[in-house]
Structure 1
Amino acid sequence: MSKAKKDYLKQIENMDLYIQQLISEVEELRSLSQSVSSVQYGEQHIKSGSQKNEAPFVNYLFKINELEIKINQEIDKFVDLKTVIISAIDELDDLEERILLRAKYISRKSWDDIFEQLNRSRSATYRVHASALEHFKIPTKVEMKRD
C-alpha cells in the first residue's frame, strides 16, 4: 500500500515534468516558426494547382496555439491535484509527518535537505516517512469533489 501512496504523491512531480515538456515543445516550435523560409512557388507547386498560399510558419502557429491550450488545461489539473494532495497531507495528525510529506512531495526537496530541516538522522527521517505514508489516506473521488 505504501507504494501506491508514494505513486499517488509523486503525481505532482510527474504532472509538473509533463507540463515542462509541453512548454519546451512550444519553445521549440516558436524557434522553428521563426527560422522557416518563405513560401516557395516552384514549378511543381504551380503545376499541381494548389491554392494553399500560407507561409510555412502558419502551421507552427496553429500547433503552438493548440499546445498552449493543452498547457493551460494541464496547469488547471495540476493546481487541482496539488490542492487535493495538500489537503490530504494536512489531515495527518503528526506535524512532523506533515512537514516531511510537504517537503518531499510538494516542495520536492532532496532527502539531504529534509534531514537537515527535520534535524534528524537519515534512519530517523526514513522512519518518519514510513509512518507518514502509513497514516496518509489517498482521497476518494467523493472527498475530492466536496472541496
Structure 2
Amino acid sequence: MQNNISIDQKKQYLKSYRSTLWNIQLLEDEIHMFQSFSNTPSYIIHPVCGTQAFTDYTSYRTQIDTQIARLQAKRLESIRYYRKILQCISTIEDPTEQTLLRLKYIHGNTLESIAETLNYSLRQIHNIHRHALEHLTIPAN
C-alpha cells in the first residue's frame, strides 16, 4: 500500500470508478454485438460491399470468438479495478467518511447534496471529505 500519494491523486483514483463502470458497460455491449454476429450467418452470405464472404463458417466463428474473448478479458480487468476502488473505500474506519466517499465517488453526488443528505453544513462536509482522503490508502498498481 502506498501512503505518499497526494490528495489530488487519490481524488483521481476515486473518480476513475465511474469511468471504469462506463467502460465495462461499453465492453458488455460490444460482447453482445459480437455474440449476435456469431449467431447470424447472414453476415457470411451477404458481406459488406468490397469484402469477401467467409467461405468457411468455422473460420468466421473463430474470429468472432477470439474477439469476444479479448473483450471479456478487458471487462474482467476493469471489474477487478473497480472492486479495488470499492475495497479502498471500505477500509476507511470512520463510517461518515466512508459514506461521504461512496456518495461522492461511487454515486456521483455533489458535496452540496451530500451535506443536505447527511444533515451537515457544507463546511463540515468539506472537512470530512479532506479527512477521508487523508485516511484513504490506495493500492500500488
Pick the TM interval, shorter chain: 0.5 to 0.7
Q: How many residues were matched structurally?
A: 128
Distance 1:25 1:68 in 2: 8
Q: What stretches of structure 2 of length at least 5 have no aligned partner?
A: 1-5
Residue 110 (str. 1) matches residue 109 (str. 2): yes
Aligned match of 2:135:
135
Q: Check whether the contact 2:31–2:71 (CA below 8 A) recurs between aligned residues.
A: no
- Higher relative contact order by CA 8 Å / sep ≥ 6: 1 or 2? 2
Runs of 4+ with >6 A deviation = none
Q: CA deviation at 1:39?
A: 4.7
- Structure 1 counterpart of 2:124: 124
**Counterpart residue number, 2:55:** 53
- For 2:90 and 2:71, how far apart are their aligned partners in 1? 28
Match of 2:8 in 1: 3
2 CA distance for matches of 1:20 and 1:72?
11
Cα distance per residue 1:71-99 (max 9 Å; x no partner): 43234333433343333223323221111
Structure whose CA Rg is larger? 1
Q: Confirm whether residue 95 of structure 1 aligns to residue 95 of structure 2.
A: yes
Where does residue 3 of structure 2 map in the other structure? none
The alpha-carbon deviation at position 125 of structure 1 amounts to: 2.2
Structure 1 portions without partners, runs of 5+: 41-49, 142-147
C-alpha distance 130-60 of structure 1, shift in aligned 2 (>3 A): farther
1:62 and 2:67 aligned: no
- SS of aligned partner of 2:45: coil
TM-score (ref. length: structure 2):
0.64
**Matched residue, 1:144:** none
Question: Contact 2:17/2:82 (CA < 8 Å) preserved in 1?
Answer: yes
Instruction: Call closer, same or farther: CA 1:36–1:6 in 2, change over 3 Å.
Output: same
1:22 aligns with 2:32: no
